[in-house]
Every structure is written in C-alpha cells, then in structure tokens.
Amino acid sequence: MNKETNQPATTFGIVGFPLSHSLSPLIHNSIYKDKGMNASYLVFETKEFDQNIVRELQKSGVKGVSVTIPHKERAFAIADSADEPSQIMKASNTLVLGKNSIHAYNTDGEGAYRSILEWSPESLSRGKTLILGSGGSARGIAYSLATSANPEELILSSRNETTGKEICSLISKHSSVKSVFVDPKDLLSIRDQISLVVHTTPLGMKGQSPGPFIGEEFFNSSMTLFDIVYNPLETPLVKAAKSTGAKIIPGSEMLLYQAMKQFELFTGVIPDSNDVKKTRERLSVALANR
C-alpha cells in the first residue's frame, strides 16, 4: 500500500451530462485500489463546460478529467495544448490539468481501434466501414480508424449533414483514406459494401431516445456492429443486428480501453494485462446488475 497516507489524495474525475449511468468511477477507483494508489475519481456532472469550470477544478486540486457527452468539442477548445487526434478532429475526451496548464487528449479512437482488433479484426479489411453519428466520439474514432486501420473507405452518416461532411473532409485531408458522407435515408443502397458499422450517437442509451439509427433490414450475417453505447449492452440497434446473425462488439470494450489509456495519462502508470482483465470482469458484473 502507499505509505504516504498523510498526503492528500490525488483527485481525478469525469465531466459531462448526464452522468448517472457512468461506470468510469468504478474503473478508475478500482485500479487505484488495486495498485495501492492514494487517488480518487469523482463525478462532476455539469450541463455547461467552460474555462471557468476548469479553473475551479484546477483550484481545488483536480489533476485530470475524463470528458464525455456533450462536452468533447468544448474540452478541445479550452485546452492550451492537444495531441494530434484532438488537434485534427477538434474534440477531446481527456484533460490533464497542471496548475496553469490544460493538456487535451483523445483516447476514444485508440479505445475503439483496440476493441475492433480484439473482437473482429477481419471486419476492417473485408469491406467499407460505416460510422453513424458526427459528435465528439465519431471524430476520435474516425481519425484513429483512418490512420491506424486504413479501411477501404470510411463512410459517415449522421442527421447533422454539416458536421458529418466536416469530419469526412478532415479525414480525407489528414489521411490516405477516402471518406464520404451518406444521408441516413440512402444507407440501404450501400449496405452490401459495408463490413463494419460503428454507432457513436446516444440513441439507445439509458434515458435517451431508443432509436435504432437503422433497422434490421440493413444488417446481414457478414457484418460486424460496434455500438459504443454500453448501458444497456443490448440496445435496440444491437438487437436488430443480432437478429440477422451479425457479429457484435460489446460497447463496454471501448469504455474499457479508452479508460486504460486515460489512467496512463493521469498517473504515468501503464496498465498491464491483469488490469485489463480485472476491469473487464468488473464492467461485466456492473452491467449485468443494471
């Protein structure tokens, strides 16, 4: 155990709205305990997110925050410096806070890519990749897949055509991958070209609109669906895809892997395979009890 028990605990946390469903505190606090770290991870639920809120966190000694819906673009805008995925895609899910500095990172993309490699690597090379949504998560995931997985083509579809086309433009500019926007109503016409579907919107999340973004008529048994919503694990979209025999990557896997990278950024400690295994088990139990 950490012998410096008389020292104040290092504080980290999560910023977003709503946060009642978040399993991030379970992930981070459990690893601190496992490793005997004098640290805690708190929930900072807020509808607004700006420089003043970050200053208050810094003043109170918070050293880093995970950032979730709907503040990922704001997190990037607030930062003094940012990693390459954040800079290019203009969205961040991690802020490391110094006394007078804010460093932004995006671990969403790495978390998604590691999940796909673990569960369905063949889906990255068999056909085209379709990303549903154009928010902060879609940005990080699109960039990571374009630069790491080199898919045949990256198709983006979202209700917001402006942000969707902006992401496609950024991907085409900063990678060798062709990226095109397709209106949701036209998706059925390209279904036979798709091998991997990544859903990044809040549709289907507990407390949000149920969805699904697309119906079961879109899916077939040669496709893989990765719905990053993890509460509930069986969203209407997952049920629709499952009924056609499509392969499913659990949404909790991205949560797991992006959190492992955040833990490393916050503490400087690289999590090992045992940390990954124990966290996966904890998430499984927590989700089964919801």
Determine if residue 208 is labeled as part of a ligand binding site: no
Determine if residue 66 is labeled as part of a ligand binding site: no
* Residue 154: closest CA among 162, 163, 143: 143
Check 3, 59, 72, 178 and give the catalytic one.
Answer: 72
Q: Beta strands 62-67 and 39-45: pairing type?
A: unpaired
Determine if residue 176 is labeled as part of a ligand binding site: no
Determine if residue 23 is labeled as part of a ligand binding site: yes
Determine if residue 113 is labeled as part of a ligand binding site: no
Determine if residue 251 is labeled as part of a ligand binding site: yes
Determine if residue 68 is labeled as part of a ligand binding site: yes
Beta-bridge partners for 15: 44, 67
Determine if residue 230 is labeled as part of a ligand binding site: yes
Residue 69 to residues 97, 208, 254, Cα–Cα distance (Å)? 19, 12, 15
How many residues can be counted in the chain? Answer: 290
Determine if residue 5 is labeled as part of a ligand binding site: no
Determine if residue 255 is labeled as part of a ligand binding site: no
Joined tokens for residue 121: 């690597």
Determine if residue 93 is labeled as part of a ligand binding site: yes
In angstroms, the CA 262 to CA 186 distance is: 37
**Is 72 a known active-site residue?**
yes
Which distant-in-sequence residues (6+ apart) come within 8 Å of 91 by Cβ?
Answer: 72, 73, 75, 76, 106, 135, 136, 139, 140
Which distant-in-sequence residues (6+ apart) come within 8 Å of 9 by Cβ?
Answer: 38, 39, 40
Determine if residue 134 is labeled as part of a ligand binding site: yes
Per-state percent for the chain, helix, strand, coil, to nearest 5: 45, 20, 35
Q: Extract the annotated binding site.
A: 22-24, 68, 84, 93, 108, 133-137, 228, 230, 251, 258
Residues belonging to the active site: 72
Q: Extract the annotated binding site for shikimate.
A: 22-24, 68, 93, 108, 230, 258
